[in-house]
């Protein structure tokens, strides 16, 4: 209290800015900048530091070498469910309504940081509704977004919404460069204030197509003629994604604020089909949209030079509900009230401490919402589904052979019982009003189908 009063006196005397008080001029009170980067359709196997051998990711490999790398971070099987879970810190079973939508009654981490005085910005892919006020409503002061007011081309000559104004680029610009450049400009403009940047990347989602570093890049191209593109370009896209991350970390270095910035990198779900990647001799087939490891296990690398010890590797479980709480703890902010987050902070693990690691994680997945979804609870090795199927994902990562109850070892029986107990905690977790949004859409779709069928008679 004395420090705050003294700081206010200095502000009135003209010796101190409000921003410097918010940051804290004495080192112990400095609030960190936070940069959360999420690649699109990029599984665990794509990163060199994770043992991937198909693609070049030198920036992320170096971040892992100088920071911490997690072996067991799990997302949802596709994009919107992951984004809703990440931004709200709440399991999909409680608040996920439908694809391409974030309910306006939800509070995001950006709302909390903005309220605390942080400057906030989102760049990259939106896909959470087209209403012009939504980024501001969810706590972002500024935005530079693809797939907002319309779904235009994302790669060569993209269509991007920048702070409420749609811009169609036509001079050979590349979408990932447009949005990452904006993030760098935002950093420069706010280098003397604490800031939060959320960067849900455009890369590496299909269509797989040339990047500006590809030998056959064509700046006059208007986009791929097919949805998937050509898989031979996926490696170029992974390396360009890595380059975009380097652009941001280099800017932090240039501005002299890298040491006080927590940078976290994750993927939003597994790699898409038909991409096949290698981890040494092991072949990993992309499984976006599926509940198996290749659809939900994603890379997670964190770097914070003044706080994270170099080269640490963690086998603790992390799920997307955990980021909200962790970011609040890192910035010494209170999470939203009375909203109850489902996340558990992994800040101690970032610092090299034991912390309070999870014994299991939970996943509910229903792409189009509704009452029912797929559900599992798992630990690092075993996974139990709502239908009772039980897998050892270390020996059966494609989940082809469920373990038979009568052949389980004593240890496996004990683990299965613990996972079953955890799953029962979510027996009645889905609110009727949340489920009804998806159910109404299903009814409407069925009515339209029947109406068209009647017209053909």
**Sign (positive or negative) of CA dihedral 247, 250, 256, 258:** positive
Angstrom distance (rounded) from CA 391 to CA 343: 25
* Banded pLDDT at 408 (limits 50, 70, 90): very high
Nearest to 141 by CA among 118, 166, 120, 163: 120
Q: Is a pLDDT exceeding 60 seen at residue 104?
A: yes
Q: What is the pLDDT of residue 456?
A: 66
Q: Is a pLDDT exceeding 50 seen at residue 65?
A: yes
**Looking at residues 386-406, what average pLDDT do you find?**
97
pLDDT tens string 274-323: 999 999 999 999 999 999 999 999 999 999 999 998 999 999 999 999 99
Q: Is a pLDDT exceeding 60 seen at residue 22?
A: no
Domains assigned to the chain? 32-354 (3.40.720.10), 374-456 (no CATH)
Lowest-confidence segment of 12-16, 270-274, 373-377 by average pLDDT: 12-16
- Percent of the chain beyond pLDDT 90? 89
- 3-state SS, the chain, equals CHHHHHHHHHHHHCCCCHHHHHHCCCHHHCCCEEEEEEECCCCHHHCHHHCCCCCCCHHHHHHHHHCEEEEEEECCCCHHHHHHHHHHCCCHHHHCCCCCCCCCCCCCHHHHHHHCCCEEEEEEECCCCCCCCHHHHCCCCEEEEECCCCCCCCCECCEEEECCEEEECCCCCEHHHHHHHHHHHHHHHCCCCCEEEEEECCCCCCCECCCCCCCCCCCCCCCCCCCCECHHHHHHHHHHHHHHHHHHHHHHHHHCCHHHEEEEEEECCCCCCCCEEEECCEEEECCCCCCCHHHHEEEEEEECCCCCCCCEEEEEEEECCHHHHHHHHHCCCCCCCCCCCCCCCCHHHHCCCCCCCCCCEEEEECCCCCCCCEEEEECCCEEEECCCCEEECCCCCCCCCCCCHHHCCHHHHHHHHHHHHHHHCCCCCCCHHHHHHHHHHHHHHHHHHHHHHHHHC
Q: What is the pLDDT of residue 451?
A: 78
Residue with tokens 């699109």: 40
Q: What pTM, to 2 d.p., does this model score?
A: 0.93
92 token code pair: 């999909």
Q: What is the pLDDT of residue 457?
A: 64
- 3-state SS, 283-350, equals EEECCCCCCCHHHHEEEEEEECCCCCCCCEEEEEEEECCHHHHHHHHHCCCCCCCCCCCCCCCCHHHH
Q: What is the pLDDT of residue 352?
A: 93
* Banded pLDDT at 450 (limits 50, 70, 90): confident
Q: What is the pLDDT of residue 30?
A: 84
Nearest to 291 by CA among 277, 268, 272, 270: 270
Contact 277, 260 (CB under 8 A): no
pLDDT tens string 224-257: 999 999 999 999 999 999 999 999 999 999 999 9
Lowest-confidence segment of 66-75, 340-349, 447-456 by average pLDDT: 447-456
307 token code pair: 């706080």
**Looking at residues 366-395, what average pLDDT do you find?**
98
48 token code pair: 């060199």
Q: Is a pLDDT exceeding 70 seen at residue 20?
A: no
Angstrom distance (rounded) from CA 230 to CA 137: 38
Kindly report whether the peptide bond that precedes residue 274 is cis, defined as omega within 30 degrees of 0.
yes
Q: What is the pLDDT of residue 29?
A: 59
Strand 68-74 and strand 312-319: pairing? parallel
pLDDT tens string 286-295: 999 999 999 9
* Banded pLDDT at 23 (limits 50, 70, 90): very low
Strand partners, 285: 276
**Looking at residues 30-59, what average pLDDT do you find?**
98
Q: What is the pLDDT of residue 24?
A: 44
* Banded pLDDT at 387 (limits 50, 70, 90): very high
């Amino acid at each position: 209290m004395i420090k705050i009063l003294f700081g206010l006196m200095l502000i009135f005397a003209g010796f101190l800015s409000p921003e410097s008080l918010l940051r804290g001029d004495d080192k112990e009170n400095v609030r960190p900048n936070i940069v959360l980067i999420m690649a699109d359709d990029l599984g665990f196997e794509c990163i060199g530091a994770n043992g991937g051998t198909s693609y070049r990711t030198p920036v992320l490999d170096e971040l892992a070498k100088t920071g911490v790398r997690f072996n067991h971070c799990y997302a949802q099987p596709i994009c919107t469910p992951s984004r809703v879970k990440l931004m709200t810190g709440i399991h999909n079973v409680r608040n996920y309504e439908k694809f391409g939508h974030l309910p306006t009654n939800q509070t995001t981490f950006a709302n909390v940081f903005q309220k605390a005085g942080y400057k906030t910005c989102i760049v990259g892919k939106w896909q959470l509704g087209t209403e012009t006020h939504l980024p501001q409503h969810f706590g972002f002061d500024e935005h530079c977004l693809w797939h907002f007011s319309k779904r235009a081309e994302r790669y060569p000559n993209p269509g991007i919404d920048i702070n409420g104004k749609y811009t169609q680029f036509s001079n050979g610009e590349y979408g990932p460069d447009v949005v990452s450049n904006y993030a760098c400009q935002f950093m420069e403009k706010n280098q003397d204030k604490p800031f939060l940047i959320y960067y849900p990347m455009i890369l590496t989602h299909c269509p797989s197509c040339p990047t500006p570093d590809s030998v056959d890049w064509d700046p006059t191209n208007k986009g791929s003629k097919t949805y998937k593109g050509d898989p031979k370009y996926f490696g170029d896209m992974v390396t360009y994604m890595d380059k975009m991350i380097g652009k941001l970390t280099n800017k932090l270095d240039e501005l002299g604020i890298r040491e006080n910035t927590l940078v976290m990198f994750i993927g939003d779900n597994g790699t898409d089909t038909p991409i096949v990647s290698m981890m040494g001799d092991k072949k990993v087939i992309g499984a976006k949209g599926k509940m198996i490891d290749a659809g939900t296990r994603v890379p997670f690398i964190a770097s914070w030079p003044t706080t994270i010890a170099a080269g640490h590797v963690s086998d603790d479980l992390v799920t997307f509900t955990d980021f909200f709480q962790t970011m609040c703890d890192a910035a010494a902010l209170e999470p939203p009230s009375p909203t109850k987050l489902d996340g558990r902070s992994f800040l101690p693990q970032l610092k090299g401490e034991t912390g309070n690691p999870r014994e299991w994680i939970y996943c509910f997945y229903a792409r189009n919402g509704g009452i029912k979804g797929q559900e599992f609870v798992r630990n690092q090795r075993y996974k139990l589904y709502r239908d009772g199927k039980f897998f050892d994902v270390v020996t059966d990562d494609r989940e082809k052979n469920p373990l038979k109850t009568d052949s389980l070892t004593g240890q496996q029986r004990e683990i299965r019982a613990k996972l079953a107990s955890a799953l029962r905690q979510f027996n009645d977790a889905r609110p009727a009003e949340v489920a009804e949004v998806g159910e109404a859409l299903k009814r409407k779709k069925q009515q339209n189908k029947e109406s068209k069928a009647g017209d053909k008679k």
